[in-house]
Amino acid sequence: MKFMYFFLPTIPATMDERRALRPIAMQLERWQRMIDEVVEIAQLAEEVGFDAVCFPEHHLHSEGLEIGSLPVLTQHVIHNTKRIKVGPIGYVLPGWNPLRLALEIAWLDQLTKGRTFVGFARGYQTRWLNQMAQLIHVGATLSDKSETDRINREAFEEVFRFLKLAWGDEPFRFKGKYYEYPYPQEGTPWLAHEWTREFGFPGEVDEQGRIQKINVVPKPYQRPHPPLFQAFSISEETVRWCAREGITPTILIAQPPQLRKLVE
């Protein structure tokens, strides 16, 4: 059995300090203290035998209570530990450009030689997700079966499909509702097409010098990709989706009968 330690990075301060120094997240010294504490917690978890540490992705919390993470924090913690795996649970997929995220994760996995994993989340905080996903008109959801919830899941699953293609061994084309690659679909003019035709993957460029397929490099260090997790799965629909896709769900349910129902 393996154990993972999950915690939420938070700017250290008492309630009185938060009032006196509002907004506390503007205090640089407090940021540095939080970063140091995140590393210390990870080092302690490693020392007592945990296999991994993880944290969520959240942004724009000027109150300093839910800071969350990006790949750079994961890399920093890995650099300051010896063996423990580190990663987010999870990247809020509707808020990410899928090509950028595929690259960020692959680079992180290469730089750390496989000491990371990948968690996914749909996103429930309108405060920041609605800002990051505005160009594809996707909002945060409370899994309430609303139209916003449906669109959020649709975008989430589309980004996931792209990630699996991007980490594969072949160049590819992708046409979704929210993203398409290459863009535009008829091909992207490429000045260095002769170089790509000679040294790149066959089929990446056509005879007119246009990009017809994309080949995302680097590939992850762990093949075919790092271990996959789904954040805080509480709905049967999400748990079934995880089972189909080979993803480990993290389930926050305190009542054993509810947990048994999802497992069965």
Q: What is the mean pLDDT of residues 138-145?
A: 89
Give the orientation angle of helix 98-111 with respect to helix 71-79, to 10 degrees. 0
Whether 64 contacts 11, CB under 8 Å? yes
Q: Do 73 and 130 share a domain, yes or no?
A: yes
Q: What average pLDDT is seen over the chain?
A: 94
Q: In the prediction, which pLDDT does 239 show?
A: 86
Structural domain of residue 179, as residue ranges? 170-215
| Domains identified in the chain, total number | 2
Q: Do 235 and 134 share a domain, yes or no?
A: yes
Q: Measured between alpha carbons, how far is 135 from 131 in angstroms, rounded to an integer?
A: 9
Q: Do 32 and 120 share a domain, yes or no?
A: yes
Q: Are strands 91-92 and 118-121 parallel, antiparallel or unpaired?
A: parallel
Q: Do 20 and 142 share a domain, yes or no?
A: yes
Q: In the prediction, which pLDDT does 263 show?
A: 75
What would the pLDDT profile of 95-135 be if each residue is shown by its tens digit?
999 999 999 999 999 999 999 999 999 999 999 999 999 99
Name the percent of the chain lying above pLDDT 90: 83
Distance from chain centroid for Cα 79 = 19
- Kindly report the pTM of this predicted structure: 0.93
Q: Do 120 and 54 share a domain, yes or no?
A: yes
Secondary structure (3-state) at 185: coil
Q: Do 26 and 90 share a domain, yes or no?
A: yes
The one-character DSSP state at 49 is T
Instruction: State whether the Cα torsion 34-8-64-19 is positive or negative.
Output: negative
Q: Do 9 and 93 share a domain, yes or no?
A: yes
Q: Do 164 and 110 share a domain, yes or no?
A: yes
Q: Do 250 and 145 share a domain, yes or no?
A: yes
Q: In the prediction, which pLDDT does 69 show?
A: 74
Secondary structure (3-state) at 156: helix
Q: Measured between alpha carbons, how far is 138 from 152 in angstroms, rounded to an integer?
A: 6
Structure tokens at 108: 């992180």
Lowest mean pLDDT among 12-16, 47-51, 122-126, 210-214: 122-126
Whether 75 contacts 28, CB under 8 Å? no
Q: In the prediction, which pLDDT does 254 show?
A: 66
Give the CATH number of the domain where residue 227 resides.
3.20.20.30
